[in-house]
């Protein structure tokens, strides 16, 4: 099959990341303009990810039953409709409902896209395929805040959501024309006990644990490395450069890590453990090394480390999962990533703020957690 037929799947990965971060990075401006409380801001931030956590396993299972392509197309069209609904409502109060609806739609097309990446890619190119998929998601994370802020400056949230509606609709049309049908495969009936047994096997738990750790490092790095730089007296340009370097390093590393995996040069357990350890070293560098050099080294190390883990984790899941259960597995794995996305900043914030130990100790606490995770993911041999 021609590779260009899978390109809309990469675009779908971009849509979910761009849609989440283009809005989230600018919600502070929305909350300030409405004099909303920090609690209201927190709820708005959590709605998108909360919908994904709740619904991804269900939509992943649906993709296995009816085929991933219809779920992909339906989710993208739903994302476009949710975005257009906010514009048509003409009310800023509709933002919460629109954001939850966007998250629900992303919960459909995100695991469906992952399942199709696995199913439509040759067995010896799984790492490369997921590396490219992750790189395009990384591009969405990187460009979302900047482009989202620009659109809001030009035309408010209405213009941003108009662009998101057009993006979702365009990718849906592209996918409908290019992505081949992948009929659901026959599968044996599975009990709840059987599902629980499959999802507690090391072949599932270890990659998901590594993916959660990588996502925790990524979100905490983007959120707290700029704060660490500001504490050291650095300006917004320098702190922003560190966050951008992190995202760029992750995006550039993922395709290369995938190719190294497929060629046998980077075994899954070794690569995942090394990536988590490198991210941990990055956070330690931010604490130990003063000023801009430490901050930039931290951004690069965390970015490269998370970029190593992501394609290897998804390739391991794809290899170990029966093809007829790919949607369900990818949906469950995405929940693990979402929990890491929320858990990383929460861990750092709890140690630094609630325990009153300071941001440096909070970052070192996350570094220690990542090292423990690296040990757990490499403890037993996995399928590579």
For residues 24-63, one letter each, b for 16 or more C-beta atoms within 10 angstroms of the residue's C-beta and e for the rest, the string is bbbbeebbeeeebeeeebeebbbbbbbbbbebbbebbbbb
Task: Please indicate, yes or no, whether residues 128 and 243 belong to a single structural domain of this protein.
Answer: no
- 163 and 272 in a single domain? The answer is no
Q: Which of 17, 8, 16, 13 is nearest to 171 (CA)?
A: 8
Collapsed DSSP state (helix, strand, coil) of residue 270: helix
User: For residue 187, is it within any domain?
Assistant: no
Asked whether residue 301 falls in the same domain as residue 168, the answer is no
Please report whether residue 382 resides in a domain.
Answer: no
Q: For residue 97, what are its two tokens? A: 């409902």
Q: Is 106 domain-assigned?
A: yes
| 371 in the same domain as 327 | yes
Q: Report how far residue 285's alpha carbon sits from residue 363's, in angstroms, rounded to the nearest whole number.
A: 10
pTM: 0.76
CATH code at 8?
1.20.1250.20
Q: What's the structural domain count of the chain? A: 2
Residue 48 tokens read as 């998108």
Q: Which domain holds residue 77?
A: 3-178
Instruction: Answer yes or no: is 135 within a domain.
Output: yes
Q: What tens-digit pLDDT sequence spans the chain (384 residues)?
A: 678 889 999 999 999 989 887 887 777 667 666 666 655 766 777 788 788 888 988 898 888 889 899 999 999 999 999 999 999 998 777 888 999 999 999 999 998 998 899 888 888 888 888 888 988 988 887 788 778 888 988 998 999 999 999 999 999 999 999 999 887 765 555 555 665 666 678 888 899 999 999 989 988 887 788 888 888 888 877 877 787 788 889 889 999 999 999 988 999 999 999 999 999 999 999 999 878 999 999 999 999 999 999 999 988 988 888 777 777 788 888 888 888 887 888 888 888 876 667 888 989 999 999 999 999 887 654 444
Domain C-terminal end among 146, 178, 210:
178
Residue 89 in any domain: the answer is yes
167 and 309 in one domain? no
Q: Give the angle 72-41-171 at the CA atoms, nearest 5°.
A: 20
């Amino acid at each position: 099959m021609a590779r260009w037929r899978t390109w809309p799947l990469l675009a779908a990965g971009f849509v979910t990341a761009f849609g989440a971060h283009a809005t989230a990075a600018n919600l502070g401006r929305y909350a300030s303009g409405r004099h909303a409380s920090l609690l209201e801001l927190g709820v708005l931030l959590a709605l998108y990810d909360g919908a994904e956590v709740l619904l991804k396993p269900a939509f992943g299972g649906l993709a296995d039953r009816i085929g991933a392509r219809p779920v992909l197309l339906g989710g993208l069209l739903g994302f476009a409709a949710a975005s257009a609904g906010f514009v048509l409502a003409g009310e800023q109060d509709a933002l919460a409902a629109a954001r939850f609806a966007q998250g629900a739609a992303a919960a459909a097309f995100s695991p469906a896209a992952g399942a199709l990446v696995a199913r439509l890619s040759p067995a010896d190119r799984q790492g490369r395929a997921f590396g490219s998929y992750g790189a395009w998601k990384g591009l969405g994370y990187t460009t979302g805040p900047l482009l989202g802020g620009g659109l809001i400056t030009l035309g408010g949230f209405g213009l941003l959501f108009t662009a998101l509606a057009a993006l979702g609709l365009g990718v849906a049309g592209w996918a409908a024309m290019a992505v081949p049908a992948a009929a659901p495969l026959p599968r044996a009936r599975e009990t709840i006990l059987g599902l629980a047994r499959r999802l507690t096997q090391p072949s599932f738990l270890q990659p998901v644990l590594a993916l959660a750790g990588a996502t925790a490092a990524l979100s905490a790095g983007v959120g707290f490395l700029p704060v660490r730089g500001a504490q050291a007296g650095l300006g917004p340009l320098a702190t922003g450069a560190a966050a951008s370097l992190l995202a760029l390093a992750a995006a550039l590393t993922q395709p290369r890590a995938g190719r190294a995996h497929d060629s046998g040069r980077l075994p899954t357990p070794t690569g995942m453990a090394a990536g988590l350890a490198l991210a941990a070293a990055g956070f330690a560098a931010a604490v130990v090394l003063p000023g801009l050099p430490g901050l930039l080294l931290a951004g690069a190390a965390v970015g490269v480390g998370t970029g190593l883990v992501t394609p290897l984790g998804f390739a391991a899941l794809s290899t170990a999962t029966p093809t007829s259960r790919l949607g369900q597995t990818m949906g469950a794995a995405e929940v693990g990533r979402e929990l890491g996305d929320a858990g990383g900043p929460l861990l750092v914030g709890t140690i630094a703020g609630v325990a009153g130990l300071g941001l440096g100790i909070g970052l070192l606490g996350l570094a220690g957690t990542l090292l423990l995770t690296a040990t757990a993911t490499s403890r037993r041999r996995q399928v590579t």
